[in-house]
Amino acid sequence: MNESPSPDSPAPPPARTKRFHFWRCFWLTFLVVSLAYAWYCFYVPANSIAWADNYAAAQQQAASTGKPIILYFTGQWCVPCRIMKRQVWADPQVTAAVNAEFIPVMLDVDDPESTTIMDRYQVKGAPVTIVTEPQGKALRWRSGGISKSEFFELIHPPTPSES
């Protein structure tokens, strides 16, 4: 049935061993790269932005300070949102500008409490970034993931004399 190889049997050919070694290295590398990419997609560093607790608190704060509001609609499942949180919101220049000039509020599109605000601004998905007046009138918005430079264009649009 199951016989053990005799000591006289020849060793496997070296080409087969090299091929096996290649595929073992290939799949190990594939696994490591895949895990690194998955971690990169879902890793979100902490940021120092002073997010308002909710939209009502942001409106009160904006009314008392006269600062515009930044609404950021996001979701836990949203990969572009996570990339934006990592590349835009965690950036020190963005943090300084947002904390100094705006009242930021992050809204989860899956939260039932956000549906009224989503209906008001006609938000259908994530990510969406909206700049509003202190009273809540939308001034500018961007749908989809945006880069740091696009974010700065959103919060500081060029004046007509600069165009």
DSSP for 63-107, written as a single string: HHH---EEEEEE-TT-HHHHHHIIIIIT-HHHHHHHHHH-EEEEE
pLDDT at 153: 94
Secondary element (H or E) of residue 157: none
Query: In terms of C-beta density within 10 A (0-12 exposed, 13-18 middle, 19 or more buried), how is residue 84 classed?
Result: buried
Q: What is the mean pLDDT of residues 86-100?
A: 94
pLDDT at 98: 95
The count of structural domains within the chain is 2
CATH of the domain at 85: 3.40.30.10
37 and 62 belong to one structural domain: no
What's the pLDDT tens digit per position in 144-162? 999 999 999 999 887 766 5
38 and 59 belong to one structural domain: no
95 and 137 belong to one structural domain: yes
21 and 100 belong to one structural domain: no
76 and 138 belong to one structural domain: yes
Cβ contact 54:86 at 8 Å: no
33 and 74 belong to one structural domain: no
pTM: predicted TM-score of the whole model, two decimal places: 0.73
Distance CA 106, CA 117 (A): 12
Residue 113 forms part of a structural domain: yes
pLDDT at 18: 75
Structural domain boundaries enclosing 27: 13-42
151 and 90 belong to one structural domain: yes
88 and 110 belong to one structural domain: yes
Residue 61 forms part of a structural domain: yes
- Residue, of 157 and 6, whose pLDDT is higher: 157
142 and 68 belong to one structural domain: yes
The torsion defined by the Cα of 135, 141, 146 and 148, in degrees rounded to 10, comes to: -50
